[in-house]
Structure 1
Amino acid sequence: MAKQLLHLVYGGELVDPQSNEFRDVAEIDVVGIFPNYATAYDAWKGAAHKTVDNAHMRYFIAHLHRLTDAEEETSATQKAG
């Protein structure tokens, strides 16, 4: 069984298409959390295609497993130190 690597897909309307600042954080669309990059990518692609006509809309994939891994490393370092 493959290791579970959680990914979050989210997006919304940006203040400027050249930035990553959302116009209204309360309106961020959380598409979902997915068990691997491939399924997250499919969800990202579907959400992005629905909003292709709005240049200010942008969707992202966040690698949640990297945050969890970093927390585990920090906890292990604190215990050892």
Structure 2
Amino acid sequence: MEDVTSDTSLPDVATLSFEQARDELVRVVGELEQGAPSLEQSLALWERGEALAARCDEWLRGAKRRLEAAQAAGEAGDDA
């Protein structure tokens, strides 16, 4: 199991695509379910997972806004 507390090779969560964040979140959840060797590692995994979940939520909210804007534009075009 990799040590997320000292792993500087992990990418910044803010730079991840939705798919990258989702895939890493799945990995982090799997590691947490298996049990980390120390409390510190468990906490680091949990914090990384929270950040990844927030990034996924950010992407989904953005997609929802874009869909709503496209629907509104389509409805406005129908009225013309």
Which entry has the higher C-alpha Rg, 1 or 2? Answer: 2
TM-score bracket, normalised by the shorter chain, equals 0.3 to 0.5
Q: Identify, as 1 or 2, the structure richer in strand.
A: 1
Q: Identify, as 1 or 2, the structure richer in helix.
A: 2
Q: If the length of structure 1 is used for normalisation, what is the TM-score?
A: 0.35
